[in-house]
Structure formats: C-alpha cells, structure tokens
Structure 1
C-alpha cells in the first residue's frame, strides 16, 4: 500500500485549497499566496503578513505586468516585495494564482493548474 503523501487534507474545497497554498508558501518561501477569480474576489489564501483579499483583488492587474511599481496599490498590498500572478488554466473559471515574495522572484509552481482544478473539482 502506498503511503499517503499529504500530511494534511480536507474534504472542503476552500480549506483544501488553502492547505495547498500554505504548502506552496512553505516550499517556495512565499510571504503569501492566494487564488482569486477574474473579478479579483478571493477563492482561497494563506495566512501571513499580506491580506489575502487584497492579494486576490490585485491578481488580474498583476497578471498584466511583471514588475511591481515602487508606489501605488500593488506596492501597498505586497509591501514592496516581488509578486507574480499566473492564470490558472481551466474551462470554467478565470482564476489566478498570486504569490508574493519567495527565495527569489516568485516562480510558478509546476503542476499548480492541475492541482487547483482537482481540488476545486473543475477541469
């Protein structure tokens, strides 16, 4: 029998997604991570020093730029740290994965789209 690879799990999609984002945060050293929709509404986020709702709100704006301006809303939300947003490929929702900070500039986690879609039950 294969040992369970996940230490923490949940049958509740939002909680499961938050747990996945916390695992990404630990693995990549992100200050925060969130998934938001195309309207900037939070689906799930991590605890930490960055407001998850605010992070989701800037996701659509952040996905159109690779640099956080030194002033303005993006800088206020990220506290001046490097941030990235990536579209989550799925057929039903316009989701973004947003990450702030990290060991270097935030890097898109391999397999994130598939994992997010599986957790949310979309494809």
Structure 2
C-alpha cells in the first residue's frame, strides 16, 4: 500500500460536503424525533419517527464513509454513491412535489446540489482508478 497514488483532490471537497451533510442529517433527525416525542401528535407520528430514524442512520453511514474515504476502500465509494443517489432523488421528488403544490422552497435545492457535487466527484475517472488501485 506504500506505492498507492496520492488522494485525488476531488475527494477533499467530497469529504467536506459529506461531513456537513452527515452532521446536518444527524441533527435534523434527532430534532424531528424530539419534536414528535414532545408533542401530543397521534396521526402520522410513527411515520415521522421512522423517517427520522432512517435519516439518522443515513447520516451516520455517510459520516462513516467520510471518515474512511481516504483509505481507498471500494465499498466506501459505492456506499457513498448509493446514499447520495437516494438523497438526490429524495430532494428532486421534494422539489417537484413542492412545485406541483405551489409551495416551492429554494432551500430544497441544497441537498440536490450537494449530492450532485459528491456524485460527480466520485465518478471521475481518476477517482475511480484511485479506488480500484489502478495507476493514474
């Protein structure tokens, strides 16, 4: 492993974005769970708690991938691409449903843009080669 190529520059940006996404997802999920538990909500509380737990699990997985990103483990890249893909699709669905309902939220574009940046960095040929251990 001593003859491994240096970490591609694109991964620095991706790691920073992943850490921000992970921390915000973790805090958001915990906040939603605290709000639901502290309210007298009856209908839909179970669904909100489930979605918050999924958000927390995805955030923890994304933070773990961010920490392990520089080790060059291929499964880290694949796991990150899957999580970011789901995040991007979820953001896109949220934006489209908001447009259909007439309640467009510009902040809904943030997760879409961040996921796009991470995905485009991870699918670059030099990054793919680095994760596969091939010479650049």
Could you state the TM-score of these two structures normalised by the residue count of structure 2?
Answer: 0.28
**Greater share of strand:** 1
Structure scoring higher RCO (CA < 8 A, sep ≥ 6) equals 2
